[in-house]
Structure 1
Protein backbone atom coordinates (compact mmCIF):
# COMPACT_ATOMS: atom_id res chain seq x y z
CA UNK A 1 0.00 0.00 0.00
CA UNK A 2 2.87 2.38 0.81
CA UNK A 3 4.36 1.70 -2.63
CA UNK A 4 1.07 2.59 -4.31
CA UNK A 5 0.82 5.83 -2.31
CA UNK A 6 4.42 6.71 -3.25
CA UNK A 7 3.64 6.12 -6.93
CA UNK A 8 0.49 8.26 -6.72
CA UNK A 9 2.44 10.98 -4.90
CA UNK A 10 5.19 10.96 -7.54
CA UNK A 11 2.61 11.18 -10.33
CA UNK A 12 0.88 14.14 -8.64
CA UNK A 13 4.26 15.83 -8.11
CA UNK A 14 5.23 15.31 -11.77
CA UNK A 15 1.90 16.74 -12.95
CA UNK A 16 2.37 19.79 -10.70
CA UNK A 17 5.95 20.33 -11.92
CA UNK A 18 4.81 20.02 -15.55
CA UNK A 19 1.98 22.52 -14.96
CA UNK A 20 4.36 25.07 -13.43
CA UNK A 21 6.90 24.62 -16.24
CA UNK A 22 4.15 24.91 -18.88
CA UNK A 23 2.77 28.10 -17.32
CA UNK A 24 6.22 29.68 -17.21
CA UNK A 25 7.87 28.28 -20.34
CA UNK A 26 5.15 28.10 -23.00
CA UNK A 27 4.46 31.29 -24.91
CA UNK A 28 1.00 32.82 -24.76
CA UNK A 29 1.14 33.08 -28.56
CA UNK A 30 -0.09 29.87 -30.17
CA UNK A 31 0.58 28.96 -33.80
CA UNK A 32 -0.20 25.68 -35.50
CA UNK A 33 0.04 24.83 -39.18
CA UNK A 34 -0.22 21.85 -41.45
CA UNK A 35 0.25 21.51 -45.22
CA UNK A 36 -0.67 19.14 -48.01
CA UNK A 37 0.15 19.05 -51.72
CA UNK A 38 -2.91 18.55 -53.89
CA UNK A 39 -2.66 17.35 -57.49
CA UNK A 40 -4.88 20.09 -58.89
CA UNK A 41 -4.42 23.66 -60.10
CA UNK A 42 -4.74 26.31 -57.43
CA UNK A 43 -7.88 27.75 -59.06
CA UNK A 44 -9.67 24.42 -58.55
CA UNK A 45 -8.42 24.10 -54.97
CA UNK A 46 -9.38 27.72 -54.31
CA UNK A 47 -12.99 26.97 -55.27
CA UNK A 48 -13.14 24.79 -52.13
CA UNK A 49 -11.05 27.04 -49.85
CA UNK A 50 -12.01 30.59 -50.86
CA UNK A 51 -15.66 30.27 -49.83
CA UNK A 52 -16.96 29.72 -46.32
CA UNK A 53 -19.83 27.65 -47.73
CA UNK A 54 -17.44 25.36 -49.62
CA UNK A 55 -15.08 25.25 -46.64
CA UNK A 56 -17.85 23.77 -44.50
CA UNK A 57 -18.20 20.87 -46.98
CA UNK A 58 -14.80 19.42 -45.99
CA UNK A 59 -14.09 21.15 -42.66
CA UNK A 60 -13.76 18.46 -39.96
CA UNK A 61 -14.91 20.78 -37.18
CA UNK A 62 -18.32 21.19 -38.87
CA UNK A 63 -18.62 17.45 -39.37
CA UNK A 64 -18.04 16.68 -35.68
CA UNK A 65 -21.76 17.24 -35.03
CA UNK A 66 -24.23 15.94 -37.63
CA UNK A 67 -26.91 18.27 -36.22
CA UNK A 68 -24.81 21.46 -36.34
CA UNK A 69 -26.73 24.59 -37.32
CA UNK A 70 -24.83 26.98 -39.60
CA UNK A 71 -26.22 30.38 -40.56
CA UNK A 72 -24.44 32.38 -43.27
CA UNK A 73 -24.24 36.14 -43.71
CA UNK A 74 -23.25 37.05 -47.26
CA UNK A 75 -22.21 34.76 -50.09
CA UNK A 76 -19.23 33.47 -48.11
CA UNK A 77 -16.47 34.65 -50.42
CA UNK A 78 -15.95 38.36 -49.68
CA UNK A 79 -14.39 40.34 -46.85
CA UNK A 80 -16.96 40.65 -44.08
CA UNK A 81 -18.93 37.55 -45.10
CA UNK A 82 -19.40 35.23 -42.13
CA UNK A 83 -21.22 32.34 -40.61
CA UNK A 84 -22.43 31.45 -37.16
CA UNK A 85 -22.40 27.85 -35.92
CA UNK A 86 -24.10 26.20 -33.00
CA UNK A 87 -23.54 22.56 -32.22
CA UNK A 88 -23.19 20.04 -29.46
CA UNK A 89 -20.49 20.05 -26.76
CA UNK A 90 -17.89 18.80 -29.27
CA UNK A 91 -18.46 21.71 -31.64
CA UNK A 92 -19.69 24.50 -29.38
CA UNK A 93 -20.82 27.84 -30.73
CA UNK A 94 -19.02 30.58 -32.57
CA UNK A 95 -18.58 32.77 -35.59
CA UNK A 96 -16.10 32.93 -38.44
CA UNK A 97 -15.69 35.96 -40.75
CA UNK A 98 -13.45 36.66 -43.73
CA UNK A 99 -10.91 39.34 -42.81
CA UNK A 100 -8.59 39.21 -45.83
CA UNK A 101 -8.80 37.55 -49.21
CA UNK A 102 -6.40 37.31 -52.15
CA UNK A 103 -8.18 35.17 -54.76
CA UNK A 104 -6.42 31.88 -55.56
CA UNK A 105 -3.71 32.61 -52.98
CA UNK A 106 -4.80 33.45 -49.43
CA UNK A 107 -7.79 33.73 -47.12
CA UNK A 108 -7.65 34.94 -43.52
CA UNK A 109 -10.62 34.56 -41.21
CA UNK A 110 -11.32 35.76 -37.70
CA UNK A 111 -12.81 33.16 -35.38
CA UNK A 112 -14.86 34.09 -32.35
CA UNK A 113 -15.55 31.15 -30.06
CA UNK A 114 -18.56 31.62 -27.81
CA UNK A 115 -18.99 28.19 -26.18
CA UNK A 116 -17.69 26.11 -24.50
CA UNK A 117 -14.98 28.77 -23.99
CA UNK A 118 -14.91 32.40 -25.04
CA UNK A 119 -11.98 33.25 -27.28
CA UNK A 120 -10.67 34.60 -30.56
CA UNK A 121 -8.33 33.20 -33.17
CA UNK A 122 -7.14 33.83 -36.70
CA UNK A 123 -7.23 31.11 -39.34
CA UNK A 124 -5.24 31.38 -42.57
CA UNK A 125 -5.12 29.37 -45.79
CA UNK A 126 -2.23 29.90 -48.20
CA UNK A 127 -2.11 28.28 -51.64
CA UNK A 128 1.20 28.09 -53.50
CA UNK A 129 2.11 26.27 -56.70
CA UNK A 130 4.22 23.17 -56.13
CA UNK A 131 5.25 21.04 -59.09
CA UNK A 132 2.10 20.08 -60.97
CA UNK A 133 -0.07 20.76 -57.96
CA UNK A 134 -0.92 23.17 -55.21
CA UNK A 135 0.47 23.28 -51.70
CA UNK A 136 -2.19 24.27 -49.18
CA UNK A 137 -1.03 25.47 -45.77
CA UNK A 138 -3.67 25.82 -43.06
CA UNK A 139 -2.71 27.88 -40.00
CA UNK A 140 -4.33 28.98 -36.77
CA UNK A 141 -3.07 31.63 -34.38
CA UNK A 142 -4.46 32.64 -31.00
CA UNK A 143 -3.49 33.61 -27.49
CA UNK A 144 -3.32 30.99 -24.76
CA UNK A 145 -4.53 31.64 -21.26
CA UNK A 146 -2.79 29.87 -18.37
CA UNK A 147 -4.96 26.75 -18.48
CA UNK A 148 -4.56 26.47 -22.25
CA UNK A 149 -0.77 26.66 -21.86
CA UNK A 150 -0.95 23.53 -19.69
CA UNK A 151 -3.07 21.82 -22.34
CA UNK A 152 -0.83 22.87 -25.28
CA UNK A 153 0.49 19.36 -26.08
CA UNK A 154 -3.10 18.04 -26.20
CA UNK A 155 -4.12 21.02 -28.36
CA UNK A 156 -1.25 20.33 -30.77
CA UNK A 157 -2.30 16.69 -31.00
CA UNK A 158 -5.96 17.58 -31.61
CA UNK A 159 -5.11 20.28 -34.17
CA UNK A 160 -2.81 17.87 -36.03
CA UNK A 161 -5.62 15.30 -36.20
CA UNK A 162 -8.34 17.76 -37.23
CA UNK A 163 -6.21 19.69 -39.75
CA UNK A 164 -5.05 16.36 -41.19
CA UNK A 165 -8.66 15.19 -41.64
CA UNK A 166 -9.64 18.52 -43.17
CA UNK A 167 -6.74 18.68 -45.60
CA UNK A 168 -7.36 15.05 -46.60
CA UNK A 169 -11.00 15.95 -47.30
CA UNK A 170 -9.95 19.01 -49.30
CA UNK A 171 -7.50 16.87 -51.27
CA UNK A 172 -10.15 14.29 -52.11
CA UNK A 173 -12.67 16.91 -53.28
CA UNK A 174 -10.08 18.92 -55.24
CA UNK A 175 -8.52 15.95 -57.03
CA UNK A 176 -11.86 14.67 -58.44
Structure 2
Protein backbone atom coordinates (compact mmCIF):
# COMPACT_ATOMS: atom_id res chain seq x y z
CA UNK A 1 0.00 0.00 0.00
CA UNK A 2 2.87 2.41 0.84
CA UNK A 3 4.43 1.78 -2.60
CA UNK A 4 1.11 2.54 -4.28
CA UNK A 5 0.75 5.80 -2.33
CA UNK A 6 4.35 6.78 -3.22
CA UNK A 7 3.64 6.20 -6.91
CA UNK A 8 0.44 8.28 -6.72
CA UNK A 9 2.35 11.02 -4.86
CA UNK A 10 5.12 11.07 -7.48
CA UNK A 11 2.57 11.24 -10.31
CA UNK A 12 0.76 14.16 -8.64
CA UNK A 13 4.08 15.93 -8.04
CA UNK A 14 5.10 15.48 -11.70
CA UNK A 15 1.75 16.85 -12.87
CA UNK A 16 2.10 19.90 -10.61
CA UNK A 17 5.70 20.51 -11.76
CA UNK A 18 4.66 20.20 -15.43
CA UNK A 19 1.74 22.63 -14.90
CA UNK A 20 3.97 25.20 -13.21
CA UNK A 21 6.60 24.95 -15.97
CA UNK A 22 3.91 25.25 -18.65
CA UNK A 23 2.29 28.25 -16.99
CA UNK A 24 5.61 30.03 -16.58
CA UNK A 25 7.35 29.16 -19.84
CA UNK A 26 4.83 28.22 -22.56
CA UNK A 27 3.87 31.05 -24.88
CA UNK A 28 0.33 32.42 -24.66
CA UNK A 29 0.24 32.46 -28.47
CA UNK A 30 -1.17 29.29 -29.98
CA UNK A 31 -0.69 28.40 -33.64
CA UNK A 32 -1.57 25.15 -35.35
CA UNK A 33 -1.57 24.26 -39.03
CA UNK A 34 -1.90 21.18 -41.18
CA UNK A 35 -1.63 20.72 -44.95
CA UNK A 36 -2.68 18.25 -47.60
CA UNK A 37 -2.01 18.11 -51.33
CA UNK A 38 -5.15 17.62 -53.39
CA UNK A 39 -4.95 16.34 -56.95
CA UNK A 40 -7.05 19.11 -58.43
CA UNK A 41 -6.52 22.70 -59.62
CA UNK A 42 -7.00 25.38 -56.99
CA UNK A 43 -10.13 26.68 -58.75
CA UNK A 44 -11.82 23.33 -58.11
CA UNK A 45 -10.60 23.21 -54.49
CA UNK A 46 -11.84 26.78 -53.98
CA UNK A 47 -15.40 25.63 -54.71
CA UNK A 48 -15.22 23.71 -51.40
CA UNK A 49 -13.38 26.29 -49.28
CA UNK A 50 -14.34 29.68 -50.74
CA UNK A 51 -17.44 30.21 -48.60
CA UNK A 52 -18.65 29.36 -45.12
CA UNK A 53 -21.47 27.23 -46.57
CA UNK A 54 -18.99 25.19 -48.62
CA UNK A 55 -16.64 24.93 -45.64
CA UNK A 56 -19.42 23.48 -43.49
CA UNK A 57 -19.84 20.51 -45.85
CA UNK A 58 -16.47 19.08 -44.77
CA UNK A 59 -15.76 20.80 -41.43
CA UNK A 60 -15.15 18.04 -38.85
CA UNK A 61 -15.86 20.22 -35.82
CA UNK A 62 -19.54 20.68 -36.71
CA UNK A 63 -19.93 16.91 -37.13
CA UNK A 64 -18.66 16.35 -33.56
CA UNK A 65 -21.37 18.52 -31.98
CA UNK A 66 -24.70 16.84 -31.20
CA UNK A 67 -27.87 18.68 -32.27
CA UNK A 68 -25.79 21.03 -34.42
CA UNK A 69 -27.67 23.89 -36.09
CA UNK A 70 -26.44 26.84 -38.15
CA UNK A 71 -27.92 30.23 -38.99
CA UNK A 72 -26.20 32.07 -41.85
CA UNK A 73 -25.93 35.80 -42.39
CA UNK A 74 -25.19 36.23 -46.09
CA UNK A 75 -23.97 33.53 -48.46
CA UNK A 76 -20.68 33.16 -46.62
CA UNK A 77 -18.53 34.23 -49.54
CA UNK A 78 -18.05 37.95 -48.80
CA UNK A 79 -16.16 39.81 -46.10
CA UNK A 80 -18.58 40.31 -43.20
CA UNK A 81 -20.72 37.25 -43.95
CA UNK A 82 -21.05 34.94 -40.96
CA UNK A 83 -22.83 32.07 -39.34
CA UNK A 84 -23.91 31.30 -35.81
CA UNK A 85 -23.81 27.70 -34.60
CA UNK A 86 -25.45 26.09 -31.65
CA UNK A 87 -25.33 22.54 -30.39
CA UNK A 88 -25.16 20.46 -27.26
CA UNK A 89 -22.72 22.34 -25.01
CA UNK A 90 -21.35 24.46 -27.86
CA UNK A 91 -22.17 27.83 -29.34
CA UNK A 92 -20.25 30.32 -31.42
CA UNK A 93 -19.91 32.44 -34.51
CA UNK A 94 -17.58 32.48 -37.48
CA UNK A 95 -17.26 35.43 -39.83
CA UNK A 96 -15.33 36.05 -43.02
CA UNK A 97 -12.54 38.60 -42.56
CA UNK A 98 -10.58 38.12 -45.80
CA UNK A 99 -11.13 36.57 -49.21
CA UNK A 100 -8.58 36.26 -51.99
CA UNK A 101 -10.41 34.18 -54.63
CA UNK A 102 -8.74 30.82 -55.33
CA UNK A 103 -6.06 31.59 -52.70
CA UNK A 104 -7.27 32.38 -49.18
CA UNK A 105 -10.28 32.39 -46.87
CA UNK A 106 -9.67 34.17 -43.56
CA UNK A 107 -12.17 33.98 -40.71
CA UNK A 108 -12.66 35.14 -37.14
CA UNK A 109 -14.11 32.65 -34.67
CA UNK A 110 -15.96 33.69 -31.54
CA UNK A 111 -16.54 30.80 -29.15
CA UNK A 112 -19.40 31.48 -26.76
CA UNK A 113 -19.88 28.08 -25.08
CA UNK A 114 -18.43 26.16 -23.32
CA UNK A 115 -15.79 28.92 -22.92
CA UNK A 116 -15.66 32.44 -24.29
CA UNK A 117 -12.77 32.95 -26.67
CA UNK A 118 -11.63 34.19 -30.06
CA UNK A 119 -9.44 32.69 -32.75
CA UNK A 120 -8.41 33.43 -36.32
CA UNK A 121 -8.48 30.77 -38.99
CA UNK A 122 -7.06 30.75 -42.50
CA UNK A 123 -7.31 28.30 -45.36
CA UNK A 124 -4.60 28.95 -47.94
CA UNK A 125 -4.34 27.34 -51.38
CA UNK A 126 -1.02 27.18 -53.23
CA UNK A 127 -0.11 25.36 -56.44
CA UNK A 128 1.82 22.11 -55.92
CA UNK A 129 2.82 20.45 -59.17
CA UNK A 130 -0.43 19.42 -60.88
CA UNK A 131 -2.36 19.75 -57.62
CA UNK A 132 -3.09 22.19 -54.86
CA UNK A 133 -1.61 22.36 -51.39
CA UNK A 134 -4.27 23.30 -48.83
CA UNK A 135 -2.99 24.66 -45.53
CA UNK A 136 -5.48 25.12 -42.71
CA UNK A 137 -4.36 27.30 -39.79
CA UNK A 138 -5.71 28.52 -36.48
CA UNK A 139 -4.27 31.15 -34.14
CA UNK A 140 -5.47 32.26 -30.73
CA UNK A 141 -4.26 33.43 -27.36
CA UNK A 142 -4.29 31.00 -24.45
CA UNK A 143 -5.26 31.91 -20.94
CA UNK A 144 -2.72 31.07 -18.25
CA UNK A 145 -4.69 27.99 -17.19
CA UNK A 146 -4.92 26.74 -20.80
CA UNK A 147 -1.14 26.72 -21.36
CA UNK A 148 -0.61 23.27 -19.77
CA UNK A 149 -3.20 21.88 -22.20
CA UNK A 150 -1.18 22.76 -25.34
CA UNK A 151 -0.05 19.17 -26.02
CA UNK A 152 -3.65 17.91 -25.77
CA UNK A 153 -4.82 20.76 -27.99
CA UNK A 154 -2.17 19.87 -30.59
CA UNK A 155 -3.29 16.25 -30.52
CA UNK A 156 -6.96 17.18 -30.93
CA UNK A 157 -6.23 19.71 -33.67
CA UNK A 158 -4.10 17.18 -35.54
CA UNK A 159 -6.97 14.69 -35.46
CA UNK A 160 -9.70 17.16 -36.41
CA UNK A 161 -7.73 19.05 -39.09
CA UNK A 162 -6.62 15.69 -40.51
CA UNK A 163 -10.22 14.47 -40.74
CA UNK A 164 -11.38 17.72 -42.33
CA UNK A 165 -8.60 17.88 -44.90
CA UNK A 166 -9.13 14.23 -45.85
CA UNK A 167 -12.86 14.90 -46.31
CA UNK A 168 -12.04 17.98 -48.41
CA UNK A 169 -9.64 15.88 -50.50
CA UNK A 170 -12.35 13.22 -51.11
CA UNK A 171 -14.95 15.84 -52.08
CA UNK A 172 -12.58 17.68 -54.42
CA UNK A 173 -11.01 14.67 -56.13
CA UNK A 174 -14.41 13.13 -57.06
Q: Which secondary structure state, in structure 1, belongs to the residue aligned with residue 170 of structure 2?
A: helix
2:128 to 127, 130, 141: 130
CA distance in 2, matches of 1:88, 1:139: 25
Equivalent residue pairs, number: 174
Matches within 5 A, 1:143-158: 143-158=141-156
**TM-score (normalised: structure 2):** 0.98
* Cα-to-partner distance string for 1:92-128 (whole Å, 9 max, x where unaligned): 1000000011000011100000000000000001000
Q: Which residue of 2 aligns with 1:81?
A: 81
Give the C-alpha shift of residue 139 in structure 1. Answer: 0.1
Give the C-alpha shift of residue 66 in structure 1. Answer: 4.9
**TM-score (normalised: structure 1):** 0.97
Q: Which residue of 1 aligns with 2:55?
A: 55
* Cα-to-partner distance string for 1:40-95 (whole Å, 9 max, x where unaligned): 01001001001100100000011113520100000110000000000113xx1000
Q: Which secondary structure state, in structure 1, belongs to the residue aligned with residue 94 of structure 2?
A: strand
Runs of at least 4 residues off by over 6 Å: none
1:100 to 98, 111, 118: 98
CA distance in 1, matches of 2:113, 2:126: 34
Q: Which residue of 2 aligns with 1:6?
A: 6
The runs of 5 or more residues in structure 1 that have no matched partner are none
CA distance in 2, matches of 1:173, 1:33: 20
Alpha carbons 2:66, 2:88 under 8 Å: kept: no
Q: Which secondary structure state, in structure 2, belongs to the residue aligned with residue 58 of structure 1?
A: coil
CA distance in 2, matches of 1:145, 1:42: 37
The runs of 5 or more residues in structure 2 that have no matched partner are none
